[in-house]
């Protein structure tokens, strides 16, 4: 495993510093309904664009529904050479349970 798990609270602390990319891989429709504050939508259609845009040392947090499918994307990015990749423990559900800010 070339990535780390990160709790919603620790992820929020990084997001507040504006020094991390928080990428939500849920379906676009679900992302548009509600997502973690500061998150971008990451899907198959824009994955390569973001890979080309991000720096390898940029911290990247991957979020999904429950913290399961984000692991495979985090592993993929780590294998592409990204140095600081995280999977959000509990996904967006964990973010909401922690009562962290969301955008609708």
Domains of the chain: 4-103 (3.40.250.10)
- Which amino acids are annotated catalytic? 64
pLDDT in tens, 44-87: 999 999 999 999 999 999 999 999 999 999 999 999 999 999 99
pLDDT in tens, 20-41: 999 999 999 999 999 999 999 9
Q: What is the pTM of this model?
A: 0.95
Check the CA dihedral 62-11-51-78 and report its sign: negative
Q: What pLDDT is stored for residue 15 in this prediction?
A: 96
């Amino acid at each position: 495993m070339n990535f780390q798990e990160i709790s919603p609270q620790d992820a929020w602390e990084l997001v507040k510093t504006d020094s991390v990319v928080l990428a939500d891989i849920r379906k676009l429709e679900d992302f548009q309904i509600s997502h973690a504050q500061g998150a971008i939508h990451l899907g198959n259609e824009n994955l390569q664009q973001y890979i080309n845009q991000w720096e390898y040392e940029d911290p990247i947090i991957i979020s999904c529904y429950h913290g399961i499918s984000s692991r495979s994307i985090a592993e993929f990015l780590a294998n592409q050479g990204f140095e600081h990749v995280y999977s959000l423990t509990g996904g967006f559900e964990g973010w909401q349970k922690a009562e962290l800010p969301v955008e609708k």
